[in-house]
Amino acid sequence: MSDPKRMKSRAGGDNKVEPIAAPLTDLLHWPARWMCALVVGATLLAYFPAFQGGFIWDDAGHVTRPDLQSLQGLGRIWCEIGATQQYYPFLHTAFWVEHLLWGDWAPGYHILNVLLHATAACLLGVALRRLAVRGAWLAALLFALHPVCVESVAWISEQKNTISTVLYFSAALAYLRFDDKRKGAPYALATGLFAIALLTKTVTATLPAALLVVFWWKRGRLSWRRDVGPLAPWFALAGAAGWLTAWFERTRIGAQGADFSLTLAQRGLLAGRVIWFYLGKLVWPADLIFIYPRWTVDPVQAWQWLFPLAALALLVGLWLGRRRGAVAGLLFFVGTLFPALGFINVFPFLFSFVADHFQYLACTGILALGSAGLESLRPRLPAAGGRVLAALGLAALGILTWHQSATYRDVFTLYETTLAKNPACWLAHNNLAEALANSGRTPEAISHLEQALRLRPGFPEAENNLGDDLRQLGRPQEALPHLERALRLQPTFAEAHNNLGAAFMMTGRSAKGIAEFIEALRLKPGYAVARFNLGLARANAGQPDQAIGDFAEAVRLKPDFGQAELNWGIGLTLAGRFPEARTHFERALQLEPDSPAVHYGFARALAGAGRLDEAIAHYEQALRLAPDFAEAHSDLALALRQAGRMSEADAHYQEATRLNARGAPAQN
């Protein structure tokens, strides 16, 4: 930031200030509307690979779940703490509206996120120009194109960053207008925008402190009446939001325990290192990783004290050198980073103390400071040299952003890239294994889970995933020790209770299986999969009425649960209630039109009801989808024989016999 002592007031005495020098290039002196067009165009170009990205990691916890997609669900987003992954109701309202517009179409979320980032960059340029910071639009372009922002822009979950930053700068601009005019309307607007920003992401709680830094930089001192007093309600709102988020992180998300038990000395060391890490990535954005290695913070190692001491020395040196603009930029950076410096526990500290998305908003202070510094060099450079330097620097950042965006294309690209740079990342091994298992590559997932457990032996999620994968591979006896170990490590692990119940069912211990499903539901009442499994277990135990009730409840909890609809239909059919069952079979087909099991289940029900022509059509569709489906061949043969189509029936009998002799796996 430039020094306000070198600025002059406009005629008219309204206390506004003008830039003291022309921007670095003529291009960056265009009117705001043209500069915004340039920022948006450059951002869209640099982030083009992100438009092809899909859903990764915890995106499913942010894109609106089926049980929250109704108006009642919108009410739960606002009124029920725990209904969403974090209590950010405005963020999840935005996701609710987006799901209404484009459902699960991932490009819609990515395109909007890139546009939000471009908007935030434009607002940054407008705000810096409003404050007469030299190089304002250069800072906006640097923010738009810098690759440290990619994690926030190419990752759907981090829409919380882009929306909250748009609201943050909008609130700041409204407050600056109030500071000029001292009228109620701008103050009310600014306060409303600030409150909404807090309901989107709590890092925006640093805004009132940031405004005081700006006023100190502009005026050289702060007035309690003019500067601090109007912001007192903002500090109260910020404190309440910060307390709620810290409580939520600790009690609902799990940011507590041995991994978060740092001494005050360790937290001070960590804060110093975090500051220099983020500064380093801004100056030299090389080796950016989705999950960075987690440092060991040890006060006994003298070299670790160099980080906080160097940070303090830098601040003191700038203060003694009377570089108020530089001090203000650094204070903004460190103050905005404060929630992620280590003094407050946040869940990602479990696997890394740093992440690019933590500095998304904070980096604007350093980029503004750097742009002002580059602008101060303009008189020492030839005119053409300044233009070339600016163009090359921005182009280089845009290229880096293009390549970094491509790593967020899908979970496989993301985690494989992470492991190539951070092979000891146990979380990436676990998450990649989960993606492999979900895509039907379960044998490949096993080695990654074993590696995750070698790197972090007491990792209950990996024990649970390994046990479940072994169960799905038909190895329940090997699965049991891993699932039991997961529960010893984390007794309230509802998913592990569910998976242990499924393993017990496979080994013929139905009573134990039912008990585990019931315990999973006690711990997590809205757990649709556990409710569905309990229904299957009760059906196998000869409790059809209870089973039908469980399937109905599973569908209520998860309206798009196709297998629950299917088994609800089967249960009703076995109870002699086929007219009711038909609706559930048809709903299952809507949800899973390419499922051989659904077509087969519906066909059997239709055949039992004497609707042979319809049954034959669904048997045939099941076999088009799964030609080696032995039971479908056998049952189709029976239906064809009953329909008098003997030659066709014989062909399917022969195929069923051949497949059974070959040991073809059952598809139902």
Mean pLDDT on 643-667: 80
Mean pLDDT on 108-112: 97
Q: What DSSP character marks residue 249?
A: I
pLDDT in tens, 274-305: 999 999 999 999 999 999 999 999 999 999 99
Residue 6 in this model has a pLDDT that exceeds 60: no
Q: pLDDT tier at 11 (50, 70, 90 boundaries)?
A: very low
Instruction: Measure the CA–CA gap between 187 and 171, rounded to whole angstroms.
Output: 9
Q: Which distant-in-sequence residues (6+ apart) come within 8 Å of 327 by Cβ?
A: 217, 315, 318, 319
Ramachandran angles phi, psi of 257, nearest 5° = 110, -170
Residue 89 in this model has a pLDDT that exceeds 50: yes
Instruction: Measure the CA–CA gap between 131 and 213, rounded to whole angstroms.
Output: 12
pLDDT in tens, 460-490: 999 999 999 999 999 999 999 999 999 999 9
pLDDT in tens, 584-631: 999 999 999 999 999 999 999 999 999 999 999 999 999 999 999 999
Kindly report the number of other CB atoms within 10 A of residue 52's CB atom: 14
Q: Cα separations (Å) of 68 from 61, 95, 100, 452?
A: 11, 11, 11, 34
pLDDT in tens, 221-264: 999 999 999 999 999 999 999 999 999 888 888 888 888 999 99
Residue 9 in this model has a pLDDT that exceeds 50: no
Q: With DSSP H G I counted as helix, E B as strand and the rest as coil, what are the percentages for the chain, rounded to 5?
A: 75, 0, 25
Name the pTM for this structure.
Answer: 0.88
Is the Cβ–Cβ distance between 339 and 242 less than 8 Å?
Answer: yes
- Note the pLDDT of residue 13: 38
Instruction: Measure the CA–CA gap between 233 and 237, rounded to whole angstroms.
Output: 6
- Note the pLDDT of residue 664: 45
Q: pLDDT tier at 662 (50, 70, 90 boundaries)?
A: low
% of the chain surpassing 90 pLDDT: 87
pLDDT in tens, 27-84: 555 688 899 999 999 999 999 999 999 999 989 889 998 889 999 999 999 999 889 9
Domains of the chain: 29-63+104-382+391-406 (no CATH), 593-668 (1.25.40.10)
Identify which of 124, 198, 116 has the alpha carbon closest to the alpha carbon of residue 156.
Answer: 116
pLDDT in tens, 400-411: 999 999 999 999
CA torsion, ordered 237, 242, 243, 245, to nearest 10 deg: 120
Ramachandran angles phi, psi of 17, nearest 5° = -125, 155
Give the angle subtended at the CA of 349 by the CAs of 344 and 350, to the nearest 5°: 130
Mean pLDDT on 323-333: 96
Q: What DSSP character marks residue 490?
A: -
Q: pLDDT tier at 24 (50, 70, 90 boundaries)?
A: very low
Instruction: Measure the CA–CA gap between 334 and 336, rounded to whole angstroms.
Output: 6
> Would you call 423 helix, strand, or coil by DSSP?
coil
Average pLDDT taken over every residue of the chain: 92
Q: Which distant-in-sequence residues (6+ apart) come within 8 Å of 647 by Cβ?
A: none
- Note the pLDDT of residue 383: 67
